[in-house]
Structure 1
């Protein structure tokens, strides 16, 4: 995603290379940029895409897993291809006309 660390981007590139090699170099790779996904990519997610904050733990980033009592605010956009992006749980995140979901984690 757009907030990935250099470690996460490097690991993704490594795993894609390994997968490509394991499949004999036959796969065709396509790069998608968060927030500017192609129609084809979005069509794979008929129920929409949810972008959550987080990631994987590394030397640069601490991540808590299995957090169920977490509160988050999701900003929902789109009609044909719906996406929900986690935003700061703050009044500043709200605006008129958009849809927001408050997840209380219970």
Structure 2
């Protein structure tokens, strides 16, 4: 689960890097692409582990709010959805980065 949370943080950081480096477009594109690829790959690790026959992974966070603890888990169904969503997001971000780079050259 640590890889999943780290991957989500890296995906958020990729968007923040693109905004933070907007005055330097090439650096923004490279930072965005690198962080989104590493983030998606990191988040895919526990999903692929579960799909490969590993145990269901879960994290329980005790809270003081009504409703009980927060539980995050990856079972085979949620691992499949993670695979589809992260794979499609990764493909879209990579394609979009290269597509928009070609458009930026034309002004």
TM over 0.5: no
Task: Answer 1 or 2: which has greater helix percent.
Answer: 2
Instruction: Please indicate the TM-score interval, normalised by the length of the shorter structure.
Output: under 0.3
User: TM (normalized to structure 2)?
Assistant: 0.24
Task: Answer 1 or 2: which has greater strand percent.
Answer: 1
User: TM (normalized to structure 1)?
Assistant: 0.24
